[in-house]
Amino acid sequence: MTQLRPDIFDEAAVRLDAVTLRYDASGEILSGIDLALKPGSFSFLTGASGAGKSSLLKLLYLARPPSTGEVSLFGRPTSRLTRDQLSAMRRRIGVVFQEFRLLGHLTAYENAALPLRVMGRKEAQYRTDVEELLAWVGLGERMHKRPETLSGGEQQRVAIARAVVTQPDLLIADEPTGNVDPEMGARLMRLFIELNKRLGTTVIIASHDLGLIRQVEAPVYHLANGLLARTTPEPGKTARRRGDGIEIKAEEE
């Protein structure tokens, strides 16, 4: 069991202490990573293809435990939780998977609404919200189509709607703008920023899209050789900060 450091990060929404990950005998993918993200923070994760970004995110959304070290979420070390407690914690996390993971037999609307159904909410209570969310991400006309009839970018937007529909405490997104054009990428980024600003959702986004990252004034964590380093944010011309909030310059709607 890792000895947790009693320090300023005790209140972190996400905390990694000396985390390592190896899948097999071929070597460590992650080597002794420490990370603390405050509740309500907004961060990016970058790194070359194969650096281990998706692997790191998998640890954060509790898809697998680290090989050594401790992953703590919402102030609780996860290695000590029961299965039920882990399930309850997973319900507080919205995940945008790199490969979308939509259910093929459900429509876009049904996919996006699924987490609410699983929570036992009644459709009459959420239908309008889900429809509005899908319209906002540009799927107003296509929400009753099945994933196989949607483009990659449309499927990605369904996956994003599904991840944010529950208004999670923690949003983890793996390349969430990888399949859309720059304009839609900026729009989706605004959705994440809104969630972060209005609801205090802690957001971490893995992305290769440096153009998009530069538009948002937020810390960037760079993964290389199994190690994580925080790089100085490099605000672009359009980034600005108001109070604690983060903004991206909005195009006129």
Ligand X SMILES: Nc1ncnc2c1ncn2[C@@H]1O[C@H](COP(=O)(O)OP(=O)(O)OP(=O)(O)O)[C@@H](O)[C@H]1O
Measured CA angle at 155 (ends 150, 161), to 5 deg: 130
Distance CA 218, CA 225 (A): 23
Under 8 Å between Cβ of 32 and 69: yes
Nearest approach, Cβ of 33 to ligand X (angstroms)?
A: 13
Burial class (CB in 10 A: 0-12, 13-18, 19+), 23: exposed
Closer residue to ligand X, CB minimum distance, 14 or 133: 14
Instruction: Name the residue among 6, 163, 174 with its Cα closest to residue 93.
Output: 163
Nearest approach, Cβ of 168 to ligand X (angstroms)?
A: 21
Closer residue to ligand X, CB minimum distance, 48 or 103: 48
Nearest approach, Cβ of 112 to ligand X (angstroms)?
A: 24
**How far apart, in Å, are the Cα atoms of 67 and each of 76, 79, 97?**
18, 11, 22
Nearest approach, Cβ of 53 to ligand X (angstroms)?
A: 4
Q: How many residues does the chain have?
A: 253
Closer residue to ligand X, CB minimum distance, 51 or 139: 51
Cβ burial 139-170 (10 Å sphere, 16+ → b, else e): beebbeeebeebeebbbbbbbbbbbbbbebbb
Nearest approach, Cβ of 130 to ligand X (angstroms)?
A: 29
State both tokens at 40.
């309500």
Closer residue to ligand X, CB minimum distance, 49 or 232: 49
Q: 15: helix, coil or strand?
A: strand
Closer residue to ligand X, CB minimum distance, 100 or 126: 100
Closer residue to ligand X, CB minimum distance, 15 or 53: 53
Burial class (CB in 10 A: 0-12, 13-18, 19+), 65: middle
What is the binding site for ligand X (CB under 6 A)?
23-24, 29, 47, 49-55, 98
Closer residue to ligand X, CB minimum distance, 178 or 233: 178
How many C-beta atoms surround the C-beta of residue 125 within 10 A?
9
Nearest approach, Cβ of 220 to ligand X (angstroms)?
A: 14
Nearest approach, Cβ of 54 to ligand X (angstroms)?
A: 3
